Structure 1
Amino acid sequence: MPVATQPELEPGRAYRTRELRPFSANPTRLAKRLVREGRLRRAAHGLYYAPVPSRFGPAPASDTELLRAFLGGSPFIISGPPKWNALGLGSTAVFPVTLVYNTKRSGEFTFDGRRYLLRRVLFPENPPPEYFVVDLLERHGMAGVSLADLERGLVATLREGRWNPETLREMAQRYGTLETQALVRRCIDAAARQAA
């Protein structure tokens, strides 16, 4: 009887079924066997991860790793309340899903019991904090905060020197609506007047 294939799996790495093809003519069957053996965990249909051993038991793959495998390596960023609340503009939102901007898929997906809301939108490759300010202004309804509150908070933080006004203006021009661009201009002008 032939010996079953034992591929080298990197702990914490996510795999699509097709990535197991070099090890077997039937990668789906191989994935199911590796799940039975405890070497892989199923995150979603066709998406698996090798658990990370820890003293508390097997730990799951990170959000970033699951999204990397699901999106096939295409660019993405994680946005939403964790980024918005850290800005100090008055947002205290909490979502039951992780908001992900990418260039490939839209919709709500569940991987390993974690929910992700994927949106196809434009975003910079390495977003500066000013991008997330514009993102919050664009999605203030999702965050449950009024534009008036955000405007007051943005003027105050601009006065403190927390944001680069030119970068903020550039992010608004590239990724914001005309309304957001006008609001950013008003805030920058108001902060400059109050500082003088």
Structure 2
Amino acid sequence: MKLDELKAHLKPGRVYRRADLEQWSKSVDRHVQELVKSKVLQKLSQGLYYYSSQTVFGQTPPDEEILVQQFLKDDRFLLMSPNLYNSLGVGTTQLYNKRVVYNHKRHGEFMLGKRTFSFFIKPHFPKKVTKEFLLVDLVNNLENLAEDKEQVLEKVYSKRQFFDVKKLERATKNYGSVKTRKLLGKLLSAESNTAYAI
């Protein structure tokens, strides 16, 4: 049976685009529809499907990195959460139920499976999150924070000694907005821990 031939090629934990499945089926739309109906495949978004792996606890969700890579058809992206700001100790405590994806291709909010991802096109971003990048990113997004912005910025300035100044200078230059470069420029050149208003 042709459907069984298609199923034989599927690997647990993999995310597939419709185009990936075409090589194994001449009736890919009908076969995919049948596999979704029988819950062999889970539809994540238009043209994107997940073949879940089973554990003793049930079906596992797709790995977010794999999911985003297949959605973008590109491995050049940075996946992160605004919750990471809380690790900087600058007064942010809000928990955000979203994932942020910096990339070169897509912009906007997309529901992939049961999760919302906010995609932002950026010319530059690091391969991995560092605390210096996080600080720059936090200041870039200061206006979107739920906390008092001046208090957060004051805490940012008081944390100067906890950052590698050269790494922070580089991150500010590479990833900071014009306003962020101005605000963190004060921090980088500060002789003391004086706070500055926004």
Shorter-chain-normalised TM-score: which range? 0.7 to 0.9
Counterpart of 2:196?
none
Cα gap change, 1:183 to 1:33, in 2 (>3 Å): same
Counterpart of 2:26?
25
Partner-residue secondary structure (3-state), 2:117: strand
Normalised TM-score (structure 1): 0.86
Query: RMSD of aligned C-alpha atoms?
Result: 2.1
Residue 47 of structure 1, CA deviation: 0.7
CA distance in 1, matches of 2:29, 2:15: 15
CA distance in 2, matches of 1:149, 1:169: 22
Normalised TM-score (structure 2): 0.85
Give aligned-pair identity as a percent.
Answer: 27
CA distance in 1, matches of 2:77, 2:91: 26
The one of 128, 131, 153 aligned to 2:130: 128
CA distance in 2, matches of 1:142, 1:76: 22
CA distance in 2, matches of 1:3, 1:61: 23
Cα gap change, 1:54 to 1:188, in 2 (>3 Å): same
CA distance in 2, matches of 1:184, 1:23: 54
Counterpart of 2:179?
179
CA distance in 2, matches of 1:128, 1:169: 13
Cα gap change, 1:33 to 1:165, in 2 (>3 Å): same
- Aligned ranges 1:117-196 → 2 under 5 Å: 117-121=118-122, 122-159=124-161, 161=162, 163-190=163-190, 193=192
Counterpart of 2:71?
70
Are the aligned partners of 2:81 and 2:98 in contact in 1 as well (CA < 8 Å)? Answer: no
Runs of 4+ in 1 over 6 A off after TM superposition: none
The count of residues paired between Structure 1 and Structure 2 equals 191
Counterpart of 1:113?
114
Q: Deviations over 1:96-146 (max 9, x none)?
A: 332211111011111112111111113123342211110110101212234
Structure 1 unpaired stretches of 5+: none
- Which residue identity is paired with 2:10? L
Cα gap change, 1:151 to 1:21, in 2 (>3 Å): same
CA distance in 2, matches of 1:127, 1:79: 8
Partner-residue secondary structure (3-state), 1:7: helix
Q: Deviations over 1:66-122 (max 9, x none)?
A: 111101124111234222122222112333332211111011111112111111113
CA distance in 1, matches of 2:83, 2:27: 40
CA distance in 1, matches of 2:109, 2:170: 30
